[in-house]
Structures are given as structure tokens and as C-alpha cells.
């Protein structure tokens, strides 16, 4: 037989056999792990979740000191302090807790706080892969050893170079951790160790740095440097960028080598252009100067010429101590008046008076004299004006006109008016518990106020008893002609109110205390409706509780009454039985001759 001209490429000795019947070649597989090994790996992973790294630890710390401190937050299974080959501490340690919540508590209570006289920073220990992903976000300088990296953070903590921990589940021993992790601290006194010193430049104090505004958003650092090079040599040019988006903020810094160049740039004016856009240069300030300027600008509040902050004085909020005992009808009146007040203050010619008050919810039988008497008794302050507003037309039983339910009070100064408001507003002892006074500063019209002032000046000028003289400076002063002044005696001085009455504590029923400031926002209608609803539910709940309490008291009373009657009946039965026994004993003894027989008195069945 002749040999075939070709050799089959298949290694199958029977090429004529069907390929489907042959067994497929299996890929190489790792040996399967036993259930115990899988369980052990899972437990190891779970444990590593409760592993912490402590940076910047004191170089004099020991195993016992650290164990004593960190065991306060939970059971410490392992504590490993990293050391160099010569036995010196690196400045970091690993702590393994039993549970994750214990580790979280240690981070919360220890990170950024002093431990053994030094501020430490505690964080979760992460694996090598995760660490390599995070290192792109920080400023990383790779050393000769590929596993050891030097991280420079922006915080004021010591710069530390860390070799990340390998996240292999099989490496659980502390010896492996010392091999996988390398950490160097700046605070070491060794000259051999490399230190990364953070230099602080004196750019602002030198006066060579210029802050430039109105920089085009598409400009780069090189564009800014090329634009400012004509004034002199430059150290650097930087455009400020947003931390989150990375886009330009439209400002930048340029540092010149000479102060003369910086002055030329500042005096350039409209000649300083970039991409046909005029730049606005100004001298750079230090961080402290910027902070002080921002604080000063916050302190300088916009003058509130309309005194709108007084509209918040005495407001009763639902759910507060002042709202306790306020009826639903009174709260509804308050919300209605607040809506009217907001509508009136939309007119820019209206303002809040500082010395005049409005009093609402006045009873119908009150007149001006009665209101004045009530105010003086409850506040011990004498108002300059006290008026109850009435209808122009007389009605049945009201010849002067029916009361409108509100009035006005005016005082000499703002402090007395504020004190009167806080003593009268929402006070249940003035008009009654269910009819409390609603007091607030009145809203005045500027035009009407000016007319009143002119009328007052004209009346003073025409009044012969009102003597007004002018000083050399032109200030007007009234001459008080009285017997005391003529005799040379002086009147007793009136008690002056404290100047800080605006910051005085407010009584529980008085309401809110207004804070002076430009940002005064009126509460919208939906908010007032919502507050009215919450107050209504609170009042209903309180009434329900009071009803339950009354029912409970009544039940206890009835129970005590029933117990008394039962005890009384029991006592009467016992007494009657004993009395009858004694009576029959005496009768038996008398019939036997042991004693004299006594006639028993019989009661009459008729009345004489």
C-alpha cells in the first residue's frame, strides 16, 4: 500500500470518527475551595470593613496607650503600630475593631482631635486597588519604589507618604501589613528622612501681585501672562477656577518680579486688553484683609427707613408657648390682620411708626378713658395718646357711635412703646382669656404724617403759651415756666428705661421679638392658612385632653361617693343589729326578775 500524500493536522487517531462525539477540551480551572475556606474568606472581608488607619500619631505612643484610648469605642481585636527597620515609629497605625459601627464611632469621636497631646486623623483603611484610583485626585509623586507613593494634601496636617494596603483576603497577619504599608511623617527629628516643607510666599506684602478682574472665560494662564509681559518680567500668571466644574471664574493673579512693573499694570487703564476685552487690575489683598472686608460688609446693613422689622414684633406662632390658651377665633383675627398689614405695606409711602401702637380686639363697652385706665394698671406706663375708634353715626345706646373694636396708643419714645406692647399683647388678664388684646406697631402714611407735623408746628407758632426760643446754633428749645423753676427747686427726675429694651426677654404670652435688619419677608397666605390649621388641631387636641381629664375626675368622684354610701350602709346595719340584741337582752333579764321591769315606750301612730 502506498502512503498518503498528506498528514492530517488533527491529533485524533481516528479522523473518520464524528467530531461531535468527541469530548470537548476543558479550560484550566483553579481548584475549588471548600465551604469552610469560602466562609473564612467572607469573614475576613467582613472584618476588614471595620479596619481603620490612624495618621499623625505621637512618636512617643505605645501599644498600651493607644489600646487604652481606642478601646473606649468598642472591642479592639488588633492594633498594629508601623515601625521602620531601625525601630523608630513611622507615625501611623492600624486598628481592627470587632464591628463596623464601633469603627464608625471611633472616626466620629477621634478624627481631628487630640490624642496624647497631638491631633490625629482617623479614616477607613482601604485596599491597594481602591487607593490607586483615589490617588489621581490628589497630588501624587511616585518614588523609586513603585508601591510607595508620596501624597501632598491641602490640609495643615503633616505631609505623609503612604504605601497603600493590599486588599488580598489571604493576607491578614500584622507582619504582612508592615510589609505592604510604608509611612513617613514630617514631625520626625531625623535629618535622613525626607521632609516636604510647605512654603508660604510673601506675594501680597511685597506688592508685586496684581488681581485682575473681567478676564475672558476662554483665556488661559499663558494668555494672561502674554498680555501682562509688556509691563515687565513675570513670575507666574494664574486664572482662578471653580473647584467643582473647573471653569474659569473670570478673575486671575499675576505676579511681577518688580514692584514698578506691578504699578505700571495698575495704571494701564483701558490699554490693558485681552481678546478685545478691557481688564480691571487691582492690588491683591491678603486672606485676612479679604475676610475682614467681608465681615465689615455684612455688618453694614442697609438702612431700613420704613422700619419694616417692627411688623414682626408680637407675632404669635402656632406651636409655641405664646400660642397656648389662644382661642381659634383670636388666632384667625391675628392672621387676618397680618394679611391686611402685608397688603398695606406694599405701598412704599407707608412705614411702621416707632412710637404709636394699634390695639385690636377691644370690647364694645370700652371707651378711651377706660382703655387708658386698663393700660396704666397693667403696664404702669402713661400713654401720650389713647383713643378708641368709633363710628361717625350714633346708634341705639351709643350716642357717640359704636366702637370699631380697635384703638391707638402713642408714647414719647420707642422704648416705652415697645415695653407696653410686650406687656399688653396677648395678655389674658386685660380683656379676658378668650378675648385677648392684639397689639402691634401702627402703619402710618408719609404724606399724612407730614401734614400732621406741619399742623403741629403751625399750632405751636400761633399758641401764645408755647414759648420757643432758638440757641446760637439754631436748635429749638422750650422754656418751661413753672413754680418749681421760679423758686429754684427741681422736679424729681423720671425713671429712664434701659437702652437695651429691644433685647430684653419677652414674656411667654407676648409673642416674637423683632430683629432689626433689611431682610424682612412677609409670610405668604398659604403659610398663614397652614399655621391656622395647625393651631386649630392643637386646640382641639388640648380640649380633648381636658375633657378626658374632667371625665376621669368625675368617675373618681362617683366611685368615692359609691364607696362612702356602701361603707355607711354596712356601718348602719351593724349598729342596728347590736342595738336590737342589747335591747332584747335587757327585756329578757327584766322578765326573769333579775332586774326591774321597764316599760317600753310605744310610738304614737297619730300626731297631736
pLDDT in tens, 319-369: 888 888 888 899 999 999 999 999 999 999 999 999 999 999 999 889 999
Question: Is 442's pLDDT higher than 90?
Answer: yes
For the chain, percent of residues with pLDDT exceeding 90 = 24
For all residues of the chain together, what is the average pLDDT?
A: 76
* Angle subtended at Cα 348 by Cα 346 and Cα 351, rounded to the nearest 5 degrees: 90
- Percentage of residues in the chain with pLDDT exceeding 70? 71
Helix (H) or strand (E) holding 577: helix 525-591
**Number of helices and strands in the chain (H, E):** 15, 21
**Cα(446)–Cα(432) distance, rounded to whole angstroms?**
35
Please state, in angstroms and as integers, the Cα–Cα distance from residue 582 to each residue in 343, 572, 575, 598, following that order: 92, 15, 11, 14
Reported for 174-181, long-range contacts at CB under 8 A and 24+ positions apart, including other chains, are 174/78, 174/80, 174/94, 177/80, 177/82, 177/94, 178/80, 178/82, 178/83, 180/128, 180/147, 181/82, 181/92, 181/94
DSSP state of 39: H
The pLDDT value recorded for residue 360 is 94
Residue 32 confidence (pLDDT): 65
**3-state class (DSSP) for residue 350:** strand
More confident position, 191 or 201: 201
* DSSP SS3 for 181: coil
pTM above 0.85, yes or no: no
Amino acid at each position: 500500500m502506498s502512503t498518503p500524500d498528506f498528514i492530517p493536522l488533527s491529533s485524533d487517531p481516528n479522523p473518520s470518527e464524528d467530531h461531535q462525539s468527541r469530548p470537548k477540551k476543558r479550560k484550566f480551572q483553579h481548584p475549588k475551595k471548600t465551604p469552610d475556606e469560602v466562609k473564612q474568606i467572607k469573614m475576613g472581608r467582613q472584618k476588614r470593613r471595620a479596619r481603620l488607619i490612624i495618621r499623625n500619631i505621637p512618636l512617643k505612643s505605645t501599644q498600651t496607650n493607644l489600646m487604652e484610648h481606642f478601646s473606649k469605642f468598642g472591642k479592639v481585636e488588633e492594633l498594629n503600630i508601623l515601625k521602620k527597620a531601625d525601630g523608630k515609629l513611622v507615625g501611623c497605625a492600624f486598628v481592627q475593631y470587632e464591628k463596623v459601627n464601633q469603627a464608625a464611632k471611633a472616626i466620629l469621636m477621634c478624627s481631628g482631635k487630640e490624642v496624647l497631646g497631638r491631633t490625629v486623623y482617623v479614616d477607613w483603611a482601604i485596599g491597594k486597588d481602591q487607593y490607586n484610583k483615589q490617588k489621581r485626585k490628589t497630588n501624587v509623586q511616585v518614588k523609586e519604589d513603585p508601591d510607595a507613593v508620596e501624597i501632598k494634601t491641602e490640609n495643615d496636617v503633616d505631609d505623609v507618604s503612604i504605601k497603600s494596603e493590599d486588599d488580598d483576603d489571604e493576607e491578614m497577619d500584622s507582619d504582612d501589613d508592615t510589609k505592604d504599608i510604608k509611612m513617613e511623617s514630617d514631625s520626625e527629628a531625623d535629618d535622613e528622612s525626607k521632609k516636604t516643607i510647605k512654603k508660604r510666599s510673601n506675594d501680597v506684602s511685597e506688592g508685586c501681585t496684581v488681581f485682575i478682574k473681567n478676564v475672558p472665560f476662554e483665556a488661559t494662564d499663558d494668555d494672561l501672562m502674554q498680555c501682562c509681559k509688556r509691563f515687565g518680567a513675570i513670575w507666574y500668571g494664574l486664572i482662578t477656577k471653580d473647584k467643582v466644574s473647573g471653569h474659569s471664574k473670570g478673575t486671575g493673579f499675576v505676579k511681577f518680579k518688580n514692584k514698578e512693573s506691578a504699578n505700571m499694570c495698575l495704571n494701564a487703564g483701558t490699554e490693558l486688553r485681552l481678546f478685545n476685552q478691557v481688564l480691571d487690575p487691582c492690588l491683591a489683598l491678603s486672606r485676612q484683609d479679604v475676610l475682614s472686608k467681608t465681615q465689615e460688609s455684612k455688618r453694614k446693613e442697609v438702612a431700613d427707613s420704613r422700619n419694616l422689622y417692627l411688623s414682626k414684633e408680637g407675632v404669635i406662632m402656632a406651636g409655641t408657648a405664646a400660642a397656648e390658651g389662644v382661642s381659634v377665633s383670636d388666632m384667625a383675627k391675628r392672621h387676618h390682620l397680618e394679611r391686611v398689614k402685608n397688603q398695606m405695606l406694599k405701598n412704599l409711602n407707608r412705614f411702621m411708626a416707632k412710637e404709636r401702637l394699634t390695639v385690636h380686639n377691644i370690647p364694645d363697652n370700652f371707651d378711651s378713658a377706660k382703655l387708658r385706665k386698663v393700660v396704666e394698671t397693667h403696664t404702669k406706663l402713661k400713654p401720650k395718646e389713647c383713643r378708641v375708634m368709633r363710628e361717625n353715626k350714633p346708634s341705639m345706646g351709643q350716642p357717640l357711635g359704636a366702637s370699631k373694636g380697635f384703638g391707638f396708643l402713642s408714647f414719647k419714645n420707642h422704648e416705652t412703646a415697645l415695653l407696653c406692647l410686650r406687656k399688653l399683647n396677648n395678655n389674658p388678664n386685660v380683656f379676658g382669656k378668650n378675648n385677648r388684646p392684639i397689639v402691634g406697631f401702627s402703619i402710618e402714611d408719609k404724606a399724612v404724617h407730614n401734614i400732621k407735623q406741619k399742623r403741629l408746628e403751625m399750632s405751636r407758632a400761633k399758641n401764645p403759651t408755647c414759648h420757643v426760643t432758638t440757641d446760637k446754633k439754631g436748635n429749638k428749645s422750650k422754656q418751661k415756666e413753672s413754680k418749681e423753676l421760679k423758686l429754684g427747686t427741681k422736679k424729681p427726675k423720671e425713671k429712664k428705661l434701659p437702652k437695651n429694651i429691644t433685647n430684653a426677654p419677652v414674656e411667654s404670652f407676648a409673642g416674637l421679638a423683632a430683629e432689626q435688619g433689611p431682610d424682612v419677608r412677609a409670610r405668604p397666605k398659604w403659610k398663614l392658612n397652614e399655621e391656622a390649621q395647625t393651631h386649630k388641631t392643637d386646640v382641639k387636641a388640648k380640649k380633648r385632653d381636658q375633657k378626658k381629664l374632667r371625665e376621669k375626675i368625675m368617675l373618681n368622684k362617683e366611685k368615692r361617693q359609691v364607696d362612702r354610701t356602701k361603707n355607711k350602709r354596712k356601718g348602719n346595719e351593724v349598729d342596728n343589729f347590736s342595738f336590737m340584741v342589747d335591747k332584747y337582752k335587757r327585756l329578757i333579764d327584766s322578765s326573769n326578775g333579775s332586774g326591774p321591769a321597764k316599760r317600753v315606750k310605744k310610738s304614737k301612730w297619730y300626731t297631736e
